[in-house]
Structures are given as structure tokens and as C-alpha cells.
Structure 1
Amino acid sequence: MMSEIKAKLNDAVKEAMRAKDKSRLSTLRLATAALKQIEVDERIELDDTRVLAILDKMVKQRKDSVEQFTQGGRDDLAQIELAEIDVLKDFLPQAMDEAEIASVIQAAIADTGAQGMKDMGQVMAIVKPQVQGRADMGAVSKKVKELLG
């Protein structure tokens, strides 16, 4: 079964083509190409979880680029990256707030009976699928360390 998010992406490509929205179309094509590449390389059909992980990674890469462009005084390029982030975020679930993230982490710690840093892997294994695409994994990881430390 095709990923629902992938289907939405493909529909958005068609809409952007009809609307002649070049910047949106180029971002959507980058996303669909990234998904296609993985499907071809690994000979699989991507599911929503994997699609979210890929889109999440693309957003993260663009955030890093924005930071670098801003530091380098290239606001024009930073704006392009920010526009791409906005397009990609349309396909990611609503971002979680701090309290939601903390409660997912607390529940995972309780479920695993985690005692300290040595159990971080177990906790992250439960937390990651629940927050993927909805929270910055770096921040989540930091929060898990904080709560286990």
C-alpha cells in the first residue's frame, strides 16, 4: 500500500504544475526524488513512518543551511531555504509542544523501567516513532538525557 503522505506529495506536485508555482514545484520534486531514490536503492515501497523520517531530515538539512547562509550574510539564499521548509512542513504532522514531548518520554521511561543513561537506547526506540517529524530529534534526545541523568 502506498504511503498516504507520498500520495499527498504526488498530488501536490500536480497542483503546483497546474498553478505554475515553480518554487513550490521544485521543492516538491526534490522531496519526491529523494523518496524515489530510496525506493529504487532499497527495492521497497516506503511507508508513512519512513516518508516522515526522510521529510524530517530534509527540513533539518534546510534549517542547517539557513543557519549557515545567515551567518555568511546570504539572506537571499536563507529565504529560499525557509520557503522550502514551509513547503515540506505541509506534509509533516503538527509539531509537538514541550509538554507533549516530555509526557511521551516519561511514558517511555516508565514502560522500559529505564534507570539511567545505559537505558537511553531503549527509551529512544519507543520515543522516536511517536515524535518523528513532529519534534526536533536532537532536542528530544537532549530531554531524554536530562530525564535519565
Structure 2
Amino acid sequence: MKCPFCGQENTRVIDSRPVPDNNSIRRRRQCDECGKRFTTYEKIETIPLVVIKKDQSREQYDRSKIQGGVTRACYKRPISVKKIEELIDDIETEIFNKEEREIPSTLIGEIVMDKLKELDAVAYVRFASVYREFKDIDTFMDELKKMMN
């Protein structure tokens, strides 16, 4: 592993521990040349995943799209960045545990909504209003009534 400070390739691992998501390992390293320390993460390589969009086009799975949607839904809510990251990790774990090479975007959206519903009702309604493309106030109110029951 190259040192990010001096570029030397002689670095050694001084500490390793699993990350709570159980899909990666955190390694603390030290450069033999300059003595500086840095952290790396080793992640399990997963099968390439293709997302089938609503218009039947296909694109490579991109975690940042889920991250963007969840972050927007949680905007100005009392939810820590750590909780959001854990939520996204949970969503990703559920998606990859399906062991499919292709997955519909609608299924991903439903998984995200289920996880958001457990985390924060306002974030859930925000995400659902965009995802389900509420056209009018009646549709929006129907979803709110479902949440109230």
C-alpha cells in the first residue's frame, strides 16, 4: 500500500479490525519511510449489479444515488451522519443479499422507503413523495393517513 504522504510503497499494518457493517476491515497503517499513519478500508468485492430503471433501461448500481436520495430526505432532520451511513449500509446489504445480477429500481425504492419508515416518519414521507411521484394533495394525504394508522 502506497503512503499517501510520501508515496513510498513500504507501509505496514499496525492494527486491523472489522467495521460494524461486517463487509469491510479497517486497517491502521504506518509508513516505514516517513513514519506517518493512515487508515485504509478493505471491502468485500461483490458481484456487479445492474439496476433496471422504470423505462427498462439498465445502468450500473451506484451507491451514491441512494445516498443522495436518503440525504435529501433526511435534510434538517435530527438524524446523525452515522445513522444515515448505517441506513445506507443496511439497504445495500439487503440489495446484495438478494444475489441477483439485475434488480429493478422499484425494488430498491421500496427497500429504501421501508428503512426510512423505521428511522424517521418525515424523511420517509419526503422520500415517498418524490419516489411515488405524488401528483396532488389527495395522494399525499392518503400516504399520510396510512402512516397514521
TM range (shorter): 0.3 to 0.5
Pick the structure with greater CA Rg.
2
More helix per residue: 1
Higher RCO (CA 8 Å, separation ≥ 6 residues)? 1
More strand per residue: 2
